[in-house]
Structure 1
């Protein structure tokens, strides 16, 4: 793509993934006169973690993801507060994207979001009892009032035939909600950035690597290398957002802000099994999530997914984790992890590493397992699966942020880290699940923290209400259920989900 350059803009966004795209669009809608420059290291936009094949594409809303509600309480109930929170945060995303379509910012929503039922599936009596308790907790809330629970193999088979084909007599159970989604996060990122590039005072430069960040006075000086010509240039901005996925940690370290001290990163590679056999693909129309297998980290919860990318429907199963030292899938180096080790984070990384030797062993084992081993895991979901119908592909790389405060905690945990300096002139995203799905909620928090003036004026408040109608309403509360249903229906209609 043709690079555009804005000299000394108000905002520089590093990375062209879903976070930078939504932050740039949100800022420009809140204050149209803002000047914004985007730098992306790859030749095309949104090619790393946001790329369609580098993530599961699930619109994470707590509907089917059992890892958000992992345990039963002593009284047998399941605490569903985290699922409710994630559902609400994804609603921010849906409503902003619905506005983007309705207002003409982006078109053809079926190119980036499609309705796909979300199903939780378990087997064995203990897990059947757990899922029944989880359903009871969720269905009591108006977010999940349409969730259906069943232990009947015929019913479950009608929802997803692959789950019951050639399955034995072991007890099974499933929940289903039809309001789930499959999302191409790369496509929506490119659409929003395309809109941004057409706005006055905005520029996007691909094949440009940011090599250094330095604070001078009240502005950041950013050094950028043009990977096509080899030439270097500098630019300055009042605010910098580092949304470079796995590349965020090295840039945050270069910035030298106190908040980066002691911060480390642990990269985890991913792989998927993919099926393109049309006869099998047409039998399955759902995203089916199960429980994490023994010894697997929480991010490796297996799921059998319908994926719709570039208009083509396929099946995806995984993820299978893998050991790597690269921080980026396409533009990373095997030296990324060693070079990220600094005197200020060495002790943190050593301590965390000692307490996570089992995880390292698991990642090495995952990366060296055979196709037969992977098919054995798939058979838990799809007993009739045949190896000749599936192929293995590499996916994206996730870098888990590690802080001193993690102590002896596990490396892999949920949540998205947003690091902001004391004067609120730079923010960096160090992400984990549910990340991309709740991108609008995350970047709105960045706006509130670093651009509060945009939301304080009557004009700013009115614009915000137009962009995300629920932003000032606690839609979790029972008394606001009707408002939630009204606003979500409008957003889903705009997105073609109804």
Structure 2
């Protein structure tokens, strides 16, 4: 039996952030601007920041602004296109860019080109029905100032200029079409996370790596007591905080359950792993310059939308294609094979079983994906690059995502796609669950945490919030002039030449 060494010391602090990913980094950076005197501690079980979901090899690096992602623009029964979700995602991404610009302008982080690059975002479809859908989508979106500058073409000669690698040796006579908008971005969320934590260190934020939060309980005074284990020494420490944020990716669900707050009851999670094909051959990579999203196969879940992306990692250009879904019962890449089974509790078992019955299609899809050979994956890639050579592409295992399962008005055990904030009624603790668009909307999501958990400070903080995020409290869609102003200023500060050209 292993002996647990307990430290007698108990520390008290204002805020504890669990997990050193993009969400904790963003919340820490916001709070340090709003309440510079607050003491903040961070606990991360790995050896450095941004190693799980935020890591650049564990996500596609898309600055999700709904410019190319067809799953945000559904076709209604009457044939019209619903762009309401696309508007919401785009506005949230504008909030992120404003805060990043503030950090750069204030010299709190430097060299924005180290984490964000301008890159055209494109949608690509084939087949008469899909081409008709894409044209209607283009017409609906270009009538909106948020999507100004989008182009549509079904002319092979034009498409060859836009996507030469994808058009080379394309023999099919099937109709094809694409939309292109030059204001898209490739974001290295791993680099951004590390930059933010470097900044937080200079603000006296105590960051503890190789420290795992094993348990937590609410104290009599309403604060939270955390049991934290030093991964190397095994020593268990006790830490107390007035506010706790659980931002540990797939690990958040277990910690939320340990908190015991009623708002977390009835919620379950289903893990899905991602795999990508990666090409680092410069001769191939130089022929493609865009993020190109296709349409998910009929019956496939939203997270399976195929896309071919230019990536910039460590200043090297590569191509990434996927995602291919996989299954592992782990909630984190570095997690346990028992994560899924131990997340099933008496209070969420019916919800989880209901989801299992409802999501047989997803289960079948995941089994088929896991069984794919490399050649089968290459066949999927050749829908995008007809002459793709197997030797140019390697398989990379990306991050684990845990999709939220909960009861909704539409039924028990409904699988949720997106991110979700769960917070206690008294605002003393909050957790972030879910997946895409995740990191792209980190600032907007963390503002939601701040509004929910610190309502007593909002009036006092509002001037600073408006300084950091000029659109704070304003719906961009109702203020086209502000859209233009934000596109201009963020493009200049972040070095996004495509956006600056558009703004003119």
**If the length of structure 1 is used for normalisation, what is the TM-score?**
0.95
What does residue range 305-344 of structure 1 map to in structure 2 within 5 Å? Answer: 305-329=309-333, 331-344=334-347
| Cα distance, 1:409–1:435 mapped onto 2, change above 3 Å | farther
Which residue number corresponds to residue 500 of structure 2? Answer: none
Work out which of the residue numbers 160, 163, 168 in structure 1 matches 2:166.
163
* Secondary structure of 1:456's aligned partner: helix
1:215 corresponds to 2:214:
no
In the alignment, the residues of structure 2 paired with residue 250 and residue 135 of structure 1 have an alpha-carbon distance, to the nearest angstrom, of 42
Q: Select which of 287, 291, 316 maps to 2:291.
A: 287
Q: Using the alignment, how far apart are the partners of 1:491 and 1:69 within structure 2?
A: 26
Counterpart in 2 of 1:248?
252
Q: CA deviation at 1:144?
A: 1.0
Q: How does 1:77-476 map to 2 (within 5 A)?
A: 77-167=80-170, 168-200=172-204, 202-216=205-219, 217-329=221-333, 331-405=334-408, 408=411, 412-457=415-460, 460-476=461-477
Which residues of structure 1 form unaligned runs of 5+?
A: none
Instruction: Quote the Cα distance in structure 1 between the aligned partners of 2:470 and 2:10.
Output: 32
Report the alpha carbon displacement of residue 487 of structure 1 after superposing the two structures with TM. Answer: 2.0
Contact 1:288–1:304, Cα closer than 8 Å, also in 2: yes
> Deviation above 3 Å: which 4+ runs of structure 1?
406-413
Report the equivalent of 1:60. 64
Q: Which moved more, 1:425-434 or 1:407-416?
A: 407-416
Shift of 1:280: 0.8
Q: Sort the Cα spacing of 1:257 and 1:410 in 2 relative to 1 into closer, same or farther, 3 A.
A: closer
Residue segments in structure 2 that go unaligned for 5+ positions in a row = 1-8, 498-504
Q: Could you tell me how far apart the structure 1 residues matched to 2:414 and 2:275 are?
A: 19
- Give the aligned length: 487
Report the alpha carbon displacement of residue 462 of structure 1 after superposing the two structures with TM. 1.9
> Comparing both structures, which one devotes a greater share of its residues to strand?
2
State the partner residue of 2:485: 486
Question: How far did 1:337 drift?
Answer: 0.4
Asked if 2 retains the 8 angstrom alpha-carbon contact of 1:325 and 1:337, the reply is: yes
Q: RMSD over aligned Cα, in angstroms?
A: 1.5
Residues 406 and 413 in structure 2, CA contact (< 8 A), matched pair in contact too: no
Deviations 1:320-354 (Å, cap 9, x if unpaired)? Answer: 0011100001x201110011111111111111101
In structure 2, C-alpha distance between the alignment counterparts of 1:462 and 1:196, rounded to whole Å: 22
Q: CA separation in 2, counterparts of 1:314 and 1:149?
A: 26
Q: What whole-Å deviation, never above 9, does each CA across 1:354-377 have from its counterpart, x for those lacking one? A: 111221121122112101110111
Q: Is the 1:307–1:313 contact (alpha carbons within 8 Å) kept by the matching residues of 2?
A: yes
Deviations 1:387-420 (A, max 9, x none): 1110101000000111122765786543211100
- Normalization by structure 2: what TM-score? 0.94
Q: Which residue, 15, 31, 36 being the options, matches 1:11?
A: 15
Bigger Cα displacement from structure 2, 58-67 vs 444-453? 444-453
Deviates more, 1:359-368 or 1:280-289: 359-368
